[in-house]
Amino acid sequence: MKNWKLSAPFLLLLPSFIVLAAVVIVPLLLSFYSSFTPFRLTKPESFFVFIGLRNYINILSDWNFWVAFGRTVLLLTIALNLEMLLGLGLALLVEKASRGQRILRTIMMFPMMFSPILVGFQFKFMFNDNIGLVNNALQALGITNNAIPWLIDGTLAFIAILTAEIWSSTSVFAILILAGLLAMPREPVEAARVDGCTPWQTFRYVTWPFLMPFAYIAMTIRSLDVARAYDIVKIMTDGGPAGRTELIWTLVARTGYSDARMGVANAMAYFSILLSILFTVYFFRKLAAARTQIGAEW
Amino acid sequence: MQMDANASARTKKRLLSIAHKVALFLAMLIICLPGIWIVLASLRPTVEIMAKPPVWIPQELSLNAYVSMFSGVGKGGIPVLDYFRNSLIISITSTVIAIIIGMAGGYAFARFRFKAKSGLFLGLMLTRTVPGIALSLPLFFVFARVGIIDTHFGLILAYVALNIPFTIWLIDGFFRQVPKDLAEAAQIDGCTRWQAFWQVEFPLAGPGIASAGIFAFLTSWNEFALASQLTRSINSKTLPVGLLDYTAEFTIDWRGMCALAVVMIIPALTLTFIVQKHLVGGLTSGAVKG
Amino acid sequence: MATVSLKKLTKRYGPLEIVHGIDLEVADREFIALVGPSGCGKSTTLRMIAGLEEISGGAVEIGGKVVNDLPPRSRNISMVFQSYALYPHMTVRENMGFSLKIAGRSQDEIAKRVDEAAAILDLNHLLERRPSQLSGGQRQRVAMGRAIVRDPDVFLFDEPLSNLDAKLRTQMRTEIKKLHAKVKSTVVYVTHDQVEAMTLSDRIVIMRDGYIEQVGTPDEVFKRPATRFVAGFIGSPPMNLREAIVTDGKLAFPNGTKLPLPRQFRDRVAAGDKVVFGLRPDDAYPTGHGLHSGEETDVHALELPVTVTEPLGNETLVFADFDGADLVARMLNPRPLKSGDKVNMSFDLSQAHLFSAETGRTLRA
C-alpha cells in the first residue's frame, strides 16, 4: 500500500518522461556533444572528431553572432514590454465596455490562433513596398509619395517584424490580464475610491498589484514560446537583407542547414536555449513571488 | 458653483466615453484588419491586387483561387490537398496522444504530493522552451538515422513531446478546479480510486481537457520550425511548410497564397470559438491557487 | 451497526506528529462528537477512520475488526463533508443513488431506497434538480440523504454545518438530532462549535494539539471539566479563569484581590500552590440577581466597578473589573447599570473550579 502510493505519481508521469527524454533530452545531449565537434552533415566522419571548445570560441569571437544575439534580446525586450503595455490597455478598454464583451473577447483572441508563419505572411503582404496595404494607405492619405522599402531597409524591417510580433502576441497578455480584471473583487477598488484615491492611484496601488500574477502567467506562457518569432522572421525577411534582420534562430538555421555546419549551429543553438530558459525561469519565479504576495490576502 | 462642477464633470464623462469607444474601435480594427485583408485578397483577381494606384473597393469577387487550389495539383504545383491531409492526420493523432499522456501527468501534479514537485514542473515546462529550430538540429540527425524523417510518425512523435508540457499545465489547472472532496466522497460511496476518477473527476474536468486538446491541436496545426526540417515531400509536409513553398517562388502568387492562408486559418478560428471560455480558466486557476 | 475503537491512533506527516496515539471507544449507536479548535487533529482523526488518510501508527477498529489497510469503500461507512461534496454533474437522485449504483444494485432497489431516504429528509420534490440549483440547507440535506441511502455501519460528519448561516445551522442541528433518533446508527461528528457538540451528542471528545483532553457526556464536561482548556472551551460565554496563589485558606490574585478558598478544595491544595481559579458567568452575579440566587451554600461578595454591560433581553452580561481584568457575570432580572457603577458581585464558590497552574489538570477529587 505504502509503496504503491509513493510510486503512483511516478507511474503517471512516466509516459511524459519517456517521450520528453526520447524527443527532447537525448537529442539535446547529442547536440551538446556535437557542439564540441566540427560535425558537418556532408561529412559524417567528422561527428567523431573532438575539437573541445573551438566552436564556442569561434562563435564568441564572431561579430555576426553577437549582433544577431543582441538583436534578438532587443527584439524580445521591446516586444514583451510593448505587448504587456498594449495588452493591459486592451484589457482595460474591453473591461470598460458595457456591451458586447463576449464578442470583443473573442475578437481579441483572434491573433493568438494565427500560425506565426501566417502572421509573417500577412505582414509580408501588408508591408510589401509595391502592393502592400501600408504603403497604399500612406500614399492614398498623401503622407508620402514614395514606396517605403519596409522589408528592405534594415531598421524598417526590424520595425515591421516587431509590428508583426506584437500583433500576434498582445492578445495573450490582453486575455490573461482581462481574466484578472474580471476576477478582481470590487471592494478594494471601491474602498480606494472612498479613501480619496485618484483613478490613477487606484490603478497603481490596488488594481495593478492584483493583476501582476496574471501578467506574469502571460509572460511565462510567452517566454515558453519566444522562439516563434523565428517563423515570422523566416517568412518576412529570412534574416535578410544581407543579415540585417538576422536573429539568433535564423542564424542557427542558416548555419546548420544552408551551410551544413551542424557542430557550430548546435553550439549557437545552446545560446538560444539558454536565452529561452533564462526568460522562462525569470518569469516563473516572478509568478511564484507575485502569487505568494497576493496569496496572503486571498 | 455646485451646478457648474456637476455639469463639467458630466461633459468630461461624456468625452471620456466617446474616447473609449473610438479607442476600442481602433484596437479591434487593427486586430481584424490583416485577416480581413487576406480574405479579401483571396477573392479578388490578381490584377486588382497588383493595381497601381490601388483599387480600394473590390470590383469583382470570385472563388477561383480556391477552386484551382483544390483541383488536383494546384497552381504552381502545390499539392494543397496532400498538405491538408498531412496536417490533419499529424495534428489529430499527436493531440490525442498528448492528451492521454498529459492527463496522467496533470492528474499526478494536481492530486499527489511528492518530492521536488515544483522543480519537476518547472523542468517539464523548460523542455517546452527549447526553440524549435534548436531542437530540429539533433532531431533531424536522429530521425534521419532511425529512418523516420519525412514520415507522419516522426512529426507526430515530435509534436507529442512539444505538447506534453503545456497540456500538463492546463490539465493540472482543470483538475485542481475539481474539489478533492468529490473524489473522496466517491471513494466512500464505494468507488475504487480508478472508478472515482472516471465517474467523478473526469466528467467534471472534461470540458477543460477538451480545450487543452484543442490548444494542442492548434500548436501542431500551426507549427513550422520543426516541420520545415523534419518533412521533405508530400509524404508528410504540412500546411505551414506548404505556405512557405509559395513564397519561395520568384513570382509570388499573392492571391493563391492568401487563399491557402484562409484555408489554414479556418479550422484554427473555428476551434478558437469553442475553446475560449475554458482556456483562460485553466491557465489562471493554476496561477492563483498554485 | 457497529462500534468504533481507536487504539493508540497516530498520524505523522514526515517528522511532524499531528495525532499522538489517542484511544477512544465509541459504543454501538452512540453519537459522539469530536470537538476542539482548528488544528487539534479532529478532522485528521475522522479521515483516518474513513480511510482517506493513511494511519501512521495504532489501529482503527470498526465492529471489532481492524480496518487500517482497507480502502474507504470496504469500511461500510458514509461521510458528510463540510463542503457537502455533491457531484455537480449528477441530479439529486443520482447523487443519492450513486453508491448503490457502484455497488451494482438494481434500478428498482436504488429508486426505492432513494425515495425512502428522500422522504425522511423531505427531499422528494428536489430529486430531479442539480446541486447548483439548491440552497445551502437543501444541499446539506442531500449530503445527509446520500449518507443514509448507503445504510452504513458508521456515519461520519466533518463539520457539516459550518457553511450554513446561524439560523439554518440551528435548524439543521435539530434535523440531525431527529435523524439520529430515526436511523439509530453510530455517529462520529467533528465540529469546532461546542454548542453543536453539546446539543447533539451522547458523549463529547475534546481534543487539543493531537491529544484527547477529556471524554464525557455534555453534562460532565460542562460541570466537571478535567482541564483548564476544557473549562475555557466549553460554555458560552466562557468560564472566567484567573491565576492565583493559595495562601492560608485564601486565594491571592496577582493584584492583591483575595477570595476565600472554596471549601471543596480545602484538602486538595497547600499554601504556596499556584492554581487557576475558574468560575462560570452563571456563578457570578450582582447579588440577588443570579441564576441560582437563594440556593447557594458558599457565597462570597465583592464590590466591583462595572466596565460594560451587554443586555440580551432575558438576561444581561455584566463585565466588571476583578483584580485588574474583566470578569463576566450573568445577571437575571436586569436592573439598569452604567459603566463605572459599583456593583455588589456574589461569587458562588461552591461551583468554583481550581486547576493546577502547572499541569492545567483539575484539582477536584
**DSSP structure string for C256-322:** S-EEEPPGGGTTT--TT-EEEEEE-GGGEEETT-STTTT--SSEEEEEEEEEEEEE-SSEEEEEEEE
Task: Report residue B156 CA to chain centroid gap.
Answer: 16
Classify C82 as helix, strand or coil. Answer: coil
Mutate to test the interface with A, among B18, B137, B157, B264 (most CBs of A within 10 A): B137
CA distance B229 to chain C (A): 46
Choose among C122, C126, C353, C106: nearest CA to C240: C353
The CATH number of whichever domain residue A145 belongs to comes to: 1.10.3720.10
Q: Is the Cβ of B184 closer than 8 Å to some Cβ of chain C?
A: yes
* B124 chain-A contacts, CB cut-off 8 A: 16, 20
Q: Is the Cβ of A217 closer than 8 Å to some Cβ of chain B?
A: yes
Report if residue A247 sits inside a domain: yes
Q: pLDDT band at residue A298, thresholds of 50, 70 and 90?
A: very low
Distance CA B290, CA A288 (A): 8
* Tens of pLDDT, residue by residue, chain C (365 residues): 589 999 999 999 888 999 999 999 999 999 999 999 988 999 999 999 999 998 999 999 998 899 999 999 888 899 999 888 899 889 999 999 999 998 889 999 999 999 999 988 888 999 999 998 898 889 988 998 999 898 888 999 999 988 888 888 888 899 889 888 888 889 999 999 999 999 999 999 999 999 999 999 999 999 999 999 999 999 888 999 999 999 888 899 999 888 999 888 888 888 888 999 999 998 888 887 777 656 667 888 889 999 999 988 888 899 999 988 899 999 887 778 888 888 898 898 888 999 999 899 998 87
Which residue matches cell numbers 479550422?
B267
* CB contacts < 8 A (A, C): 4
User: Does residue B33 carry a pLDDT above 80?
Assistant: yes
The proportion of chain A whose per-residue pLDDT surpasses 90, expressed as a percent, equals 11
The proportion of chain B whose per-residue pLDDT surpasses 90, expressed as a percent, equals 20
User: Does residue A82 carry a pLDDT above 90?
Assistant: yes
Please spell the DSSP secondary structure of B185-224, one letter per residue: HHHHTT--HHHHIIIIIHHHHHHHHHHHHHHHHHHHHH--
Residue contact B189–C73, C-beta within 8 A: yes
Which residue matches cell numbers 454548542?
C195
| B272 → closest Cβ in A113, A140, A214 | A113
Q: Which residues of A58-79 are buried (b: 16+ CB within 10 A; e: fewer)?
A: bbeeeeebeebbebbeebbeeb
Given this model, what pLDDT does residue C188 score? 95
Q: Is the Cβ of B207 closer than 8 Å to some Cβ of chain C?
A: no
Residue contact B189–C150, C-beta within 8 A: yes
Mutate to test the interface with A, among B28, B133, B148, B166 (most CBs of A within 10 A): B133
Question: What class does CATH assign to B66-289?
Answer: mainly alpha
Which CATH architecture is the domain C240-356 placed in? Answer: Beta Barrel (2.40)
| B184 → closest Cβ in C52, C99, C150 | C52
Residue contact B142–A27, C-beta within 8 A: yes
**Environment class of B115 (CB within 10 Å of its CB; exposed 0-12, middle 13-18, buried 19+):** exposed
Which residue matches cell numbers 483538475?
B175
The pLDDT of B254-265, averaged and rounded, is: 84
Distance CA A198, CA B137 (A): 55
User: Does residue B138 carry a pLDDT above 90?
Assistant: no
| DSSP-derived secondary structure letter, C227 | B
Q: pLDDT band at residue A294, thresholds of 50, 70 and 90?
A: low
Each domain of chain C, given as residue ranges in start order, spans: 4-233, 240-356
Report if residue A178 sits inside a domain: yes
Each domain of chain B, given as residue ranges in start order, spans: 2-62, 66-289
Q: Is the Cβ of C358 closer than 8 Å to some Cβ of chain A?
A: no
Which residue matches cell numbers 521533405?
B232
* B200 chain-C contacts, CB cut-off 8 A: 87, 89
User: Does residue B46 carry a pLDDT above 90?
Assistant: no
Q: Kindly identify which residue of chain C lies nearest to residue B192, measuring between CA atoms.
A: C73
For residue B103, how many C-alpha atoms fall within 13 Å in the half-sphere facing its CB?
19
| C88 → closest Cβ in B186, B189, B204 | B204
Q: Beta C57-62 vs C65-66: how paired, if at all?
A: antiparallel
Distance CA A93, CA C344 (A): 69
Provide the residue type at A21 as one letter: A
Distance CA C242, CA C170 (A): 32
| B158 → closest Cβ in A23, A108, A119 | A23
- Chains in touch with A (3+ beta-carbon pairs under 8 Å) read B, C
* C81 chain-B contacts, CB cut-off 8 A: 181, 184-185
Residue contact C69–A1, C-beta within 8 A: yes
Q: Which residues of C151-171 are buried (b: 16+ CB within 10 A; e: fewer)?
A: ebbbbbbbbbbeebeeeebee
Please spell the DSSP secondary structure of C313-343, one letter per residue: SSEEEEEEEETTEEEEEEEES-----TT-EE
Interface of A with B in 42-61 (CB under 8 A): none
Distance CA C180, CA C190 (A): 15
CA distance B72 to chain A (A): 23
Choose among C142, C37, C15: nearest CA to C83: C142
Distance CA A116, CA A224 (A): 15
Which residue matches cell numbers 493591459?
A88
> How do residues A235-283 score in pLDDT, each as one tens digit?
888 877 777 888 888 888 888 888 888 888 888 888 888 888 888 888 8
Given this model, what pLDDT does residue B285 score? 59
Comparing B247 with B288, the larger pLDDT belongs to B247
The pLDDT of A177-189, averaged and rounded, is: 84
Q: Which residues of C259-275 are buried (b: 16+ CB within 10 A; e: fewer)?
A: bebbebbeebbeeebeb
| DSSP-derived secondary structure letter, C74 | G
* A278 chain-B contacts, CB cut-off 8 A: none
Which residue spans within C89-236 are E strands per DSSP?
Answer: 154-158, 186-191, 203-208, 211-216
Tell whether omega for the bond before B34 is within 30 degrees of 0, i.e. cis.
no
Q: Beta C274-279 vs C258-260: how paired, if at all?
A: unpaired
Distance CA B168, CA B155 (A): 20
Q: Per DSSP, what are the bridge partners of residue C204?
A: C33, C216
User: Does residue A7 carry a pLDDT above 80?
Assistant: no
Which residue spans within chain C are E strands per DSSP?
Answer: 4-13, 16-26, 31-35, 57-62, 65-66, 77-80, 154-158, 186-191, 203-208, 211-216, 240-247, 250-252, 258-260, 274-279, 284-286, 299-311, 315-322, 325-332, 342-348, 353-356
Q: Say if CB C84 and CB C97 are below 8 A apart.
A: no
Q: Say if CB A165 and CB A71 are below 8 A apart.
A: no
* B190 chain-C contacts, CB cut-off 8 A: 73, 99, 102-103, 150
Given this model, what pLDDT does residue B163 score? 92
CA distance A32 to chain B (A): 9
Given this model, what pLDDT does residue B126 score? 87
Domain interval for residue A190: 65-260+272-295
Q: pLDDT band at residue B72, thresholds of 50, 70 and 90?
A: low
Task: State the cell numbers at C273.
Answer: 500552590
Q: Is the Cβ of B177 closer than 8 Å to some Cβ of chain C?
A: no
Distance CA B43, CA C295 (A): 102
Q: Per DSSP, what are the bridge partners of residue C10?
A: C57
Given this model, what pLDDT does residue A3 score? 47
**Environment class of B33 (CB within 10 Å of its CB; exposed 0-12, middle 13-18, buried 19+):** middle
* A2 chain-C contacts, CB cut-off 8 A: 54
Q: Is the Cβ of B185 closer than 8 Å to some Cβ of chain C?
A: yes
Q: How many CB atoms lie within 10 A of CB C195?
A: 15
User: Does residue A5 carry a pLDDT above 60?
Assistant: no
Q: Say if CB C345 and CB C304 are below 8 A apart.
A: yes
Given this model, what pLDDT does residue B137 score? 85
* C73 chain-B contacts, CB cut-off 8 A: 187-192
Task: State the cell numbers at B178.
Answer: 475539481
> How do residues A22-55 score in pLDDT, each as one tens digit?
899 998 898 888 888 888 877 777 778 888 788 8
Name the strands in the sheet holding C284-286, side by side, starting at the edge strand that comes first in the sequence: C284-286, C342-348, C299-311, C315-322, C325-332
Report how far apart, in Å, the C-alpha atoms of A165 and of each of A83, A91, A168, C80 are. Answer: 9, 18, 5, 53
- Chains in touch with C (3+ beta-carbon pairs under 8 Å) read A, B
C4-233 fold = Rossmann fold (3.40.50)
| B268 → closest Cβ in A113, A176, A262 | A113
CA distance A9 to chain C (A): 17
CA distance B146 to chain A (A): 12
Q: Say if CB C92 and CB C132 are below 8 A apart.
A: no
Measured over the CA atoms of residue B201, residue B202, residue B206 and residue B212, the dihedral's sign is positive
| A273 → closest Cβ in B31, B134, B281 | B134
Given this model, what pLDDT does residue A207 score? 87
Interface of A with B in 156-195 (CB under 8 A): 167, 171, 175-176, 179-180, 183
Comparing C256 with A225, the larger pLDDT belongs to C256
Task: Give how many domains chain A has, as a whole number.
Answer: 1
Q: Say if CB C218 and CB C201 are below 8 A apart.
A: yes
Distance CA B196, CA B186 (A): 6
**Environment class of C181 (CB within 10 Å of its CB; exposed 0-12, middle 13-18, buried 19+):** exposed
Q: Which residues of C touch B (CB under 8 A)?
A: 50-52, 71-73, 77-79, 81-83, 85-89, 98-99, 102-103, 146, 150
Choose among B206, B263, B284: nearest CA to B85: B263
Q: Say if CB C32 and CB C187 are below 8 A apart.
A: yes
Residue contact B276–A105, C-beta within 8 A: yes
Classify C152 as helix, strand or coil. Answer: coil
